Structure 1
Amino acid sequence: MSSSVPSTSLWDVHRLPRADDRLFLVTGGNAGIGYFIAEQLSATGATVVLGSRRQEKAKAAQAAIRDRVPGARVRTLRLDLADLSSLRKAADALGSAHLDAVVHNAGIALDDPPRRETRDGHEVMFGTNHLGHFALTGWLMPLLSAAPAARVVTMGSFAAKSERLDLGDLQSRQDYRPKRTYGRSKLAQMYFGLELDRRLRATGSTVKSVVAHPGGALDSLTPSRPPVQVRSFGTWLRGAPAGVLLQGKHAGAWPAVRAVLDPTVHGGQLWGPRVFSLRGRPRLDPVWPHLADTAVAAELWGVSRDLTGIDPCSIPE
């Protein structure tokens, strides 16, 4: 892992480098931060695929991007991370011999009990946010390995900074609290992203795995993109004071976009906003101390492999 910190002044979030002839997949690219990641990547000339469980929402996002980015090469892909049996078919449906980057952005957050499960019997936030992306990476690895310098970018959350994994209760069967379970599911994703890079390096792979987080990204500070994102003046006014420390989802996309495009980004790094890790231009963050625990990461990997039947570093037959 590189310890050097590239200057944020050399990266202009409004003038991104060209990425013509490259193919990027953004999970959850139909809404929220995922939409803005896709919109910004589309402006580089790349082909961007919006992975979404609900195709009507994906089509609306596709139209919104084309309205904002003339000539955008954007298409949709049905992707249900809560259904592990569907993920191989989704990877095949990309219809490409290579994939230059996947941004693992999609996620579900429940505000209130009761606890829910996926069709595979996993707690729905852990099963969708972590296990779904874990398994999808395995099915995408042949396409990623076929690209000259592919990247897996995993979107974590600042909410995960105060959480710790309970390896004995990853599915929150014993003690389910929605906000904590969500934070832990995002923490699991971040452990996965860092452990993935260690394992890729050990195999000599050219694929890099990078972790990013959006800081504090609020709807009230996010510009309108009808019909995907609609913000009234009143909503903006009420949320404006929070802009001192927080930002909109368009800015929350910046660390992931840089992790995809910037040639100075290295595998095993964590990228987030510059100001208190909550807002501003993207910068290299120190890996949080608990995320540096390789024993926890390795144990989580083993459990995830057993639950999904996939090892992302072993190319499936």
Structure 2
Amino acid sequence: MSWDVGRPPRADGKNFLVTGGNAGIGYFVAEQLAGAGATVVLACRDPGKAEAARVAIRARLPGADVRQIRLDLADPASVEACAGALRLDGLDRLDAVVCNAGVLLDRPPRRETAAGHELMFATNHLGHFALVSHLAPLLAAAPASRVVTTGSFTAKSESLDLADPQSTRDYRPKRTYVRSKLAQMLFGFELDRRLRAVGASAVSVVAHPGGALDSLTPSRPPVRVRTAGERLRGLPAALLLQGKEAAAWPAVRAVLDPDVHGGELYGPRVFGFRGRPVLEPVRGDLADTTLAARLWDLTAGLTGLDPIPGFTRP
């Protein structure tokens, strides 16, 4: 099916949560889902930035139901509190969660969370694994919910060493980031296999944004304002890359397209870098079911959690 990025299906009455929905690609995922009529919850570490994003979305979409909730994916207590706060906010179900938030460090030294985990691995992978575990009952309460994991096309070029998944021996910031995104994507695929095995109605889908640049991204005050000079400097890159508004399309399709199936991967059409979102083949380490199962067991051990029981409890 050809997907019209300008006219996605309506989602009135549905509830979606977007991690990191206050900026970047996550902001545009939230904006586009709100434009489809859904209630969108921005799960963000900084309440001030979340409020700025809410204001920006409502400025473009008057009357949009956009809410915010605090979430620090690197803090297990904050992750658990997020699920409880959703119930207090009156949400009795979630139709989708978009696991989008992430942290990318650009220089050493290696940083750890209070729990002793490498920061990028903890935020991008462990935090989302824990979040889905805590949100599982709300997702199970919806008739056909979706867990959408936002990975990275760079993950296809990296491998994961389960003997040292948190890069204690060979830490390099960008490589460690890519490994954390590979782990996140493997989780998305393994989650779907385990949901199918227990007959759950929920599905798990993986998406990646391609190559996204701020200079190609339209302004959304007060979240961000693009200058004319920045726009001109970014024009040559538009032949291969795209802005973050377009980079949100694969995740939005993974949430809204009725023809999407669990275990699928969506990314930009043109070499995986830019363009409308299309179904991509799952290859290499991403298709390694043994690696994914071993990573799941390791992650469950590190977090003390398992998402599956929450999807199957009556």
Q: TM bucket by the smaller chain?
A: over 0.9
Q: Does 1:48 align with 2:40?
A: yes
* Secondary structure in structure 2 of the residue aligned to 1:37: helix
Counterpart pick for 1:231 among 203, 226, 229? 226
Q: Does 1:263 align with 2:255?
A: no
* Secondary structure in structure 2 of the residue aligned to 1:113: coil
* Secondary structure in structure 2 of the residue aligned to 1:170: coil
Counterpart pick for 1:71 among 57, 63, 66? 63
* Secondary structure in structure 2 of the residue aligned to 1:314: helix
Q: Does 1:14 align with 2:6?
A: yes
Gaps of 5+ in 2: none
Alpha-carbon deviations, 1:249-301, whole Å to 9, x = none? 00000000000000000000000001111000000000122211001000100
Which AA in structure 1 matches 2:83? A
| Consecutive aligned runs of 4 or more in structure 1 exceeding 4 Å deviation | none
Give the match for residue 162 of structure 1: 157
Which AA in structure 2 matches 1:19? A
Counterpart Cα distance in 1 of 2:242 and 2:160:
28
Which AA in structure 1 matches 2:69? L
Counterpart Cα distance in 2 of 1:86 and 1:64:
25
Kindly state the Cα deviation for residue 86 of structure 1 after the two structures are TM-superposed.
2.1
Which AA in structure 1 matches 2:71? L
Verify the 8 A CA contact 1:32 1:229 in the aligned structure 2.
no
Counterpart Cα distance in 2 of 1:165 and 1:90:
29
Give the match for residue 101 of structure 1: 96
Give the match for residue 27 of structure 1: 19
* Secondary structure in structure 2 of the residue aligned to 1:112: coil
* Secondary structure in structure 1 of the residue aligned to 2:309: coil
Counterpart pick for 2:246 among 234, 248, 251? 251
Alpha-carbon deviations, 1:163-211, whole Å to 9, x = none? 1101111111111000000000000000000000000000000000000
Counterpart Cα distance in 2 of 1:97 and 1:70:
25
State the number of aligned residues.
309
Q: Does 1:171 align with 2:166?
A: yes
Kindly state the Cα deviation for residue 117 of structure 1 after the two structures are TM-superposed.
0.7
Counterpart Cα distance in 2 of 1:223 and 1:291:
32
Kindly state the Cα deviation for residue 89 of structure 1 after the two structures are TM-superposed.
1.4
Which AA in structure 2 matches 1:209? S
Counterpart Cα distance in 1 of 2:246 and 2:16:
19
Alpha-carbon deviations, 1:91-139, whole Å to 9, x = none? 0111221100000000000000000011111000000000000010000
Kindly state the Cα deviation for residue 16 of structure 1 after the two structures are TM-superposed.
1.5
Give the match for residue 115 of structure 2: 120
Counterpart Cα distance in 2 of 1:119 and 1:290:
30
Counterpart Cα distance in 2 of 1:155 and 1:275:
18
Give the match for residue 3 of structure 1: none
* Secondary structure in structure 2 of the residue aligned to 1:273: strand
Verify the 8 A CA contact 1:37 1:254 in the aligned structure 2.
yes
Q: What does residue range 166-245 of structure 1 map to in structure 2 within 5 Å? A: 166-245=161-240
Counterpart pick for 2:300 among 281, 295, 305? 305
Kindly state the Cα deviation for residue 88 of structure 1 after the two structures are TM-superposed.
1.7
Alpha-carbon deviations, 1:132-165, whole Å to 9, x = none? 0001000000000110100000000011111110
Give the match for residue 4 of structure 1: none
Give the match for residue 283 of structure 1: 278
Counterpart Cα distance in 1 of 2:75 and 2:209:
26
Alpha-carbon deviations, 1:45-69, whole Å to 9, x = none? 1100000010000000000000011
Give the match for residue 139 of structure 1: 134
Alpha-carbon deviations, 1:23-58, whole Å to 9, x = none? 000000000000000000000111000000100000
Give the match for residue 59 of structure 1: 51
Counterpart Cα distance in 2 of 1:253 and 1:17:
16
Q: What is the percent sequence identity of the aligned residues?
A: 68
Counterpart Cα distance in 1 of 2:213 and 2:45:
23
* Secondary structure in structure 1 of the residue aligned to 2:66: strand
TM-score, scaled to structure 1: 0.96
Give the match for residue 124 of structure 2: 129
Give the match for residue 152 of structure 1: 147
Gaps of 5+ in 1: 1-6
* Secondary structure in structure 1 of the residue aligned to 2:31: helix
